[in-house]
């Protein structure tokens, strides 16, 4: 009976990891799977393993961080407005415990790789059909992006990078030639999809990951050839793809000569971060913060001052959050909340430094949170918890 329960628990956790890229299609499915996992956990829980997880420094700091910002929101009277974000932050802690009961990290990684490849495959098929139907190779902006992407581009890109790191780790750790070929092919497909969907952040992150992994794992002669090949292929991709050129260089903008001015004009995060910093500077509660709900409310007021009207309406319709997890925590939870979170990340760096793969996973999270609020999106929460659980467990051995 116990064996069957453990097997069912593993399959449910794998299903949840597989489903992460598809969460926007039906949030309820992920909640149902997680609920089933939680119920089964009561029957298979290993008290020693649970105690070991709860005693880890990183996890203790995370719990302290959650409790401090939770009590602060109750004290400031913002708990109801902040409940959605607080629930997601608490959900990460719970998921880490649930994932920690899985002995085989490779099972969770394989499930996530499969889900990401399926989402990327569907997206690439949609792009191909769009090109055949319209004859246009331009699909980097506008409503067409949302129509073509199975998962939102920003998240599909970062999920592909994470899956690529998983594939690289499993490729170098196993000896079976058949599985090596599968992981190498999967890694190649993920690289191709990252460049084809023209995700800027994903391209930068995957080049960092690929360079560091090759540097660490290959001998000097092979390493130099491999790194030169990566640089050459990346350069050719940038020069040969109109979508990438436009996304990085804004080549269509002939009115502004300065690249900085082009970024200020075309990159929404410039105005978002400028508005967020204005809110923090004017805040009278810099220590414990204004709360997540109040932060969003003040951002809307800042957006109402944007000119011209068309741009102002676009910002208000999108209702952009801070698009920077650190800025969001600074304003919403104050200096105290941000410091606790940075201490938590610092402990994770120490924990991950012994594995180039875990270190790359953490780098992806840290850099990704510079441009996105992971705690505001459900699949951001789930992938954060997955990576945290992997880092807090011992690295996979050959």
pLDDT band at 223 (very low <50, low <70, confident <90, very high): confident
The answer to whether 141 and 267 are in contact (CB under 8 A) is no
Across the range 232-253, mean pLDDT stands at: 65
**What does the pLDDT read at residue 94?**
94
How long, in residues, is the chain? Answer: 398
CB atoms within 10 A of CB 3: 8
The yes-or-no verdict on residue 387 having pLDDT over 90 is yes
Rounded distance between C-alpha atoms, residue 276 and residue 221, angstroms:
48
Q: Among the listed ranges 32-41, 95-104, 129-138, 309-318, which one has the minimum average pLDDT value?
A: 129-138
Task: Tell me which DSSP letter residue 140 carries.
Answer: S
Q: What is the mean pLDDT of the chain?
A: 87
Across the range 281-297, mean pLDDT stands at: 92
Place of tokens 């903008």: 253
**What does the pLDDT read at residue 398?**
42
Q: Where is pLDDT greater, at 330 or 221?
A: 330
Cβ partners under 8 Å of residue 379, min gap 6: 20, 21, 23, 24, 151, 155
Rounded distance between C-alpha atoms, residue 46 and residue 48, angstroms:
6
Across the range 210-227, mean pLDDT stands at: 82
Cβ partners under 8 Å of residue 47, min gap 6: none
Largest CA distance in the chain: 70
pTM here is 0.93
Which among 362, 340, 349, 382 is positioned nearest to 116, based on CA atoms?
Answer: 382
**What does the pLDDT read at residue 222?**
77
Across the range 55-61, mean pLDDT stands at: 92
The yes-or-no verdict on residue 259 having pLDDT over 80 is no
């Amino acid at each position: 009976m116990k064996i069957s329960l453990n097997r069912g628990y593993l399959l449910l956790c794998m299903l949840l990891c597989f489903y992460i890229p598809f969460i926007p299609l039906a949030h309820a499915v992920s909640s149902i799977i997680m609920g089933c996992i939680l119920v089964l956990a009561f029957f298979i829980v290993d008290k020693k393993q649970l105690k070991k997880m709860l005693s880890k420094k990183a996890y203790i700091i995370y719990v302290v961080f959650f409790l401090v910002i939770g009590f602060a929101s109750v004290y400031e009277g913002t708990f109801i407005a902040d409940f959605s974000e607080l629930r997601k932050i608490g959900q990460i802690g719970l998921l880490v415990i649930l994932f920690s009961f899985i002995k085989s990290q490779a099972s969770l990684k394989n499930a996530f790789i499969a889900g990401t490849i399926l989402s990327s495959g569907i997206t690439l098929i949609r792009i191909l059909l769009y090109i055949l139907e319209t004859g246009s190779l331009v699909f980097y902006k506008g409503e067409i992006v949302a129509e073509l992407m199975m998962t939102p581009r920003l998240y599909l890109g970062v999920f592909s990078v994470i899956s690529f790191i998983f594939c690289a780790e499993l490729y170098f750790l196993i000896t079976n030639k058949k599985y090596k070929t599968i992981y190498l092919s999967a890694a190649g497909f993920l690289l191709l999809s990252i460049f084809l969907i023209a995700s800027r952040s994903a391209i930068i992150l995957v080049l960092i990951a690929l360079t560091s992994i090759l540097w660490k794992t290959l001998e000097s002669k092979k390493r130099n050839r491999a790194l030169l090949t990566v640089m050459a292929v990346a350069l050719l991709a940038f020069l040969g793809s109109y979508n990438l050129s436009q996304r990085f260089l804004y080549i269509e903008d002939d009115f502004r000569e300065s690249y900085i001015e082009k970024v200020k004009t075309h990159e929404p995060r410039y105005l978002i971060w400028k508005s967020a910093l204005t809110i923090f500077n004017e805040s009278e509660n810099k220590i414990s913060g204004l709360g997540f709900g109040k932060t969003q409310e003040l951002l809307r007021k800042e957006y109402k001052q944007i000119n011209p009207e068309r741009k102002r309406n676009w910002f208000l319709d999108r209702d952009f959050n801070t698009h920077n997890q650190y800025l969001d925590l600074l304003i919403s939870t104050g200096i105290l909340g941000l410091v606790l979170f940075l201490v938590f990340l610092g402990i994770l760096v120490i924990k991950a430094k012994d594995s180039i793969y875990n270190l790359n996973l953490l780098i992806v999270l840290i850099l990704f949170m510079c441009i996105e609020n992971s705690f505001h999106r459900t699949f951001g929460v789930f992938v954060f918890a997955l990576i945290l659980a992997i880092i807090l467990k011992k690295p996979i051995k050959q």
